[in-house]
Structure 1
Amino acid sequence: MPWTELEEIASKISDLNKWREIFSFQGLEISSTTHQQRRVSAGDGAPGAGEPVGPQPPAPHPHSAIPKPLLLSPDTGGRPISLEMAMGLRKLLFGNVFNLFSSEWAKAYFRFREPYSDLAYALEAEKGGTRAILMAVQAHIIKYLLFVRNTEYTHLERLCRISRQEQGEALAVALADTLWAAGGGVRAVICLVTTDIHVMPSGDYKADNFTERIQLFEFSEKAAAQEFIFDHINCFKGEGSHGVILFLYSLLFSRTLERVQEDLDCTATPLLKFRFGNITCTQAVLSLLLTGRASPHELDGGQEPGPGGRGIEAWRRRGPVGYLHWGRSQAEQQVCPRLRTPQLPIWLCSITGRHGVLFGTDSLLLSDWKTERVFHLYFYNGQQEQTKTAHLTIDTHSHHWEEDQSEDPSSPGKRHPSVEMAIRTKWAGATVSWNGTDPFF
């Protein structure tokens, strides 16, 4: 055979292998393979943690690697979702079994900014309903990187000097912490997607070709759940993974669908709502993310259980991450004190319907009143346009903020940046300096 023909055949084989890798990356396996993984603790930082074992095609660039398939083999373990479970999910989320997630939700996953950058710690969030979930997880990522992880770095360096692997570790810890809290500190359920379809559509159920492939993995130890998530981290932070929906499903199954319904006071109010063409999260979802309970009243200050009431101790308990809320309507209820004053200076902020994270680097900020005279906070809103963490200086004793409290803050000439208004729901009358940054949000 002429040498030129041999070269042509070799070129075609090479092209075929490239297409095979592309299809494998998207989860469309050309042949059925057994999903294998190296079980490495999310905290040991071992090189190559979470990578497939066995011979692998050479990476085209030293800084890239072929991720695990986003669709698992059905023999990985766990138990398949049932039609009853799939319908229960739909009813809790949408109030019926016919509505489906929008393309915005289907495309959403946990995507980090560039490692070793000013925003290496930060998740990127599109404008829309998924941002609330992404920013709630972002708060837990910051908690781990600033106050839990052992590192030589201090203050903001702890957030900036992290690698791509450390981003995955932080995400695994944040997801595991949230699921464990939803499971009452005794269980966590992790949902992943398999190649097989477990639920066939019926007259009462409209398939989405995603939920029907769910496999559930239950853990009775948080460390094991965290390790499992880290081993399969590309199933949450890989493009095309449906990572945000997977996490939301995991959250609901960790709590159990029955207990979520009890949290909602057995009402038929869905967890998600349609607003101006978008699917957005209700207060109950935010409550589940922050407190482990899907109570629509968990975040406000006027629903404390009476003496001997169910869950009064949990209601009064301060969590590691707090919540601040501000809108331009004066009629909105105040956030409960325990969420305005969490254990650590990290708050998920809901500001005029948009979400971001406000945080400080001093773990003692909320435990010593003397530190709350003049202090520093930082703000991140998840938007691609934000290229640097906003640095705010808060002064609670300057008395320069003079505003007629009887006048609507949204009236002409009286508007202040919304972030500042949210901060003042915690520190009334405080002045806020943006340190040279143009105020936004």
Structure 2
Amino acid sequence: MGDRGAEHAAPTEVEEITSRISDLSKWREIFSFPGLEINSTAHQPGQSSAGHGPAGAGQSPGSQPPCSIPQPLLLPLGGRPISLDTAMRLQQLLFRNTTPLFGWEWAAAHFSFHPPHSDLAYALQAGKGGTRAILAAVQAHIITYLLFTRDTEFTHLERLCRVGRWEQRQALATALAGTLWAAGGGGRAVVCLSTAPVTTVPREGYGASSFTDRIWLFEFSEKAAAQGFISDHINCFESKGSHGVILYLFSLLFSRTLERVQEDLGDTAPLLNASSGNITCTEAVLSLLLTGRASPRGLGGHREPEPGTAHGDAGEPGQRGPVGFLRWERAPRERQVSAGEPRASRTHRRPARLSPGPGECPLAQVSPALRSPRLPVWLCSLSGRHSVLFGTDSRLLSDWKSERIFHLYFCSGQQEQTRTAHLTVDTHSHHWEEAPREEPCSPGRRRPALEMAIRTKWAGATVSWNGTDPFF
């Protein structure tokens, strides 16, 4: 009898243990949502585990696009929510109005690499619309880190093609932290995270209007701490539906502080242009990414360096930063013709003239410090489309003998490009001697816009595409 009782008791204990495990799993799912996690390693007395998110962080299901399986986001202690007043000031800086204008393309934009260990393993996949300028600028900083900062046994372009998944994430964290630190004047960085759960890619028609009020700010007084924090939360910038590009743009503005950004901009200019449903970055945003200041004329070098500002990773106007800037714009008539071309013919656009036409010279002017950065990496603006040009020889811009014949590489960020374009630049050849009967300024002598941008740095240089069909 006793043995039979024991046999009946054993299953009862097992069922009780199974029930408790099931209950524990349910609670774990509940607290896995962002802003509701229990941080057992950093919990402070008097602060509830569910208090990391701002009031109202749990929005009604209709305020967001449909969710996929949520990915946990552990918001650490020490952050602060964005206030309504701050959110309105931020909106004013961005658009000069308080009506949220971010559309689904911006909401869907995030930092995503090409497959590891591939020809474009180092390259970010280009987003749509106006986010491409930000992605290209971050791409330039990623290349700078991968080529000239990290330790690796590989050399030259192989260093970029051998990049693995861990190195991709490390390069992104380094690039984001470096630009935030420069925006903070070399003394601070602010990282923005959201308490909203990670969702699928927002669909067309979705707006990010309900996104700003779920932002939390995390401030750091040491660059290494900011970089470590971003590395720990890199999913917040590279996951689909994370609003990663918007989070990064907000982080730049808060690192600089909204007050100083306002001083940089002046009274009228917004940070973003909104026209016909398209939102594009102004020159002030590019200036913030490259120089640490949101000056509308910062890329042209019209302003003096800000007094008392520490040297950050990006250079102030008049100072040589690690990443430069080259620009070339077509004449108005050429832009109108290009706009009317069929989509299929735009991949290989008609080359620009060898010499600038009326109205092109001022658009092509860039400050000398940005044309000659410390390292051979340039963000390029070619008729409004952004890309990256770089070299692998760190001495290129510091040793004049290296600038006779040298190699550059070009990453357009476009889907059509499957491998890095290789260019050879010769600064001592005289192209006009090859056809003495044709004037260098002849309308018939046309070159790709990329070559024209290169000539704003090396006047008269010839560019060989080494078998690749010229584009841009």
TM-score range, shorter chain: 0.7 to 0.9
Whether the aligned pair in 1 keeps the contact of 2:185 and 2:309 (CA below 8 Å) is: no
Whether the aligned pair in 1 keeps the contact of 2:109 and 2:128 (CA below 8 Å) is: no
Q: Which amino acid aligns with 1:400?
A: H
Compared with structure 1, are the counterparts of its residues 111 and 37 closer, same or farther at alpha carbon in structure 2 (3 Å cutoff)?
Answer: farther
Asked if 1:29 corresponds to 2:29, the answer is no
Query: CA–CA distance in 2 between the matches of 1:406 and 1:418?
Result: 15
Pick from 310, 316, 326: which aligns with 2:328?
326
Compared with structure 1, are the counterparts of its residues 207 and 394 closer, same or farther at alpha carbon in structure 2 (3 Å cutoff)?
Answer: closer
**SS state of the match for residue 252, structure 2?**
helix
1:366-424, CA deviations, whole angstroms, 9 ceiling, x for partnerless residues? 001111010000000111211000000000111015774655xxx5x333111111111
Q: CA deviation at 1:331?
A: 4.5
Percent identical: 65
1:161-182, CA deviations, whole angstroms, 9 ceiling, x for partnerless residues? 1111110000000000000000
TM-score by length of 1: 0.79
**SS state of the match for residue 440, structure 1?**
coil
Q: Which amino acid aligns with 1:318?
A: R
Match of 1:418 in 2: 449
Asked if 1:284 corresponds to 2:284, the answer is yes
Deviation larger for 210-219 or 73-82: 73-82
Match of 2:12 in 1: none
Query: CA–CA distance in 2 between the matches of 1:75 and 1:163?
Result: 28
Match of 2:60 in 1: none
Query: CA–CA distance in 2 between the matches of 1:33 and 1:217?
Result: 17
1:349-376, CA deviations, whole angstroms, 9 ceiling, x for partnerless residues? 0010000000000000000111101000
Query: CA–CA distance in 2 between the matches of 1:285 and 1:137?
Result: 12
Whether the aligned pair in 1 keeps the contact of 2:404 and 2:428 (CA below 8 Å) is: yes
Query: CA–CA distance in 2 between the matches of 1:37 and 1:276?
Result: 49
Whether the aligned pair in 2 keeps the contact of 1:260 and 1:294 (CA below 8 Å) is: yes
Compared with structure 1, are the counterparts of its residues 164 and 366 closer, same or farther at alpha carbon in structure 2 (3 Å cutoff)?
Answer: same
Match of 1:357 in 2: 388
Q: Within 5 Å, give how 1:41-440 maps onto structure 2.
A: 72=73, 76-195=77-196, 208-264=209-265, 266-301=266-301, 303-305=302-304, 314-329=316-331, 330-333=360-363, 334-401=365-432, 404=439, 411=443, 413-440=444-471
Query: CA–CA distance in 2 between the matches of 1:299 and 1:32?
Result: 43
Match of 1:44 in 2: none
Compared with structure 1, are the counterparts of its residues 277 and 195 closer, same or farther at alpha carbon in structure 2 (3 Å cutoff)?
Answer: closer
Compared with structure 1, are the counterparts of its residues 258 and 152 closer, same or farther at alpha carbon in structure 2 (3 Å cutoff)?
Answer: same
Compared with structure 1, are the counterparts of its residues 355 and 36 closer, same or farther at alpha carbon in structure 2 (3 Å cutoff)?
Answer: farther
1:215-273, CA deviations, whole angstroms, 9 ceiling, x for partnerless residues? 10000000000000000001000111100000000000000000001111x22211000
Query: CA–CA distance in 2 between the matches of 1:258 and 1:395?
Result: 46
Compared with structure 1, are the counterparts of its residues 107 and 195 closer, same or farther at alpha carbon in structure 2 (3 Å cutoff)?
Answer: closer
Q: CA deviation at 1:312?
A: 13
Match of 2:18 in 1: none
Compared with structure 1, are the counterparts of its residues 157 and 93 closer, same or farther at alpha carbon in structure 2 (3 Å cutoff)?
Answer: same
Query: CA–CA distance in 1 between the matches of 2:385 and 2:120?
Result: 20
Compared with structure 1, are the counterparts of its residues 240 and 406 closer, same or farther at alpha carbon in structure 2 (3 Å cutoff)?
Answer: same
Compared with structure 1, are the counterparts of its residues 429 and 244 closer, same or farther at alpha carbon in structure 2 (3 Å cutoff)?
Answer: same
Q: Which amino acid aligns with 2:93?
A: L
Q: CA deviation at 1:30?
A: 10
Whether the aligned pair in 2 keeps the contact of 1:183 and 1:255 (CA below 8 Å) is: yes
Q: Which amino acid aligns with 1:155?
A: H
**SS state of the match for residue 90, structure 1?**
helix
Q: CA deviation at 1:332?
A: 2.8
Number of matched pairs: 375
Q: CA deviation at 1:72?
A: 3.8
**SS state of the match for residue 315, structure 1?**
coil
Q: Which amino acid aligns with 2:413?
A: G
Whether the aligned pair in 2 keeps the contact of 1:107 and 1:242 (CA below 8 Å) is: yes
Whether the aligned pair in 2 keeps the contact of 1:343 and 1:366 (CA below 8 Å) is: yes
- Taking only aligned residues, the RMSD between alpha carbons, in angstroms, comes to 2.9
Q: Which amino acid aligns with 1:345?
A: P
Whose Rg is larger? 2
Whether the aligned pair in 2 keeps the contact of 1:323 and 1:347 (CA below 8 Å) is: yes
1:300-347, CA deviations, whole angstroms, 9 ceiling, x for partnerless residues? 14x1449x9897994321101000010013153410100000000000
1:37-88, CA deviations, whole angstroms, 9 ceiling, x for partnerless residues? 99xxxxxxxxxxxxxxxxxxxxxxxxxxxx9965745664400000111111
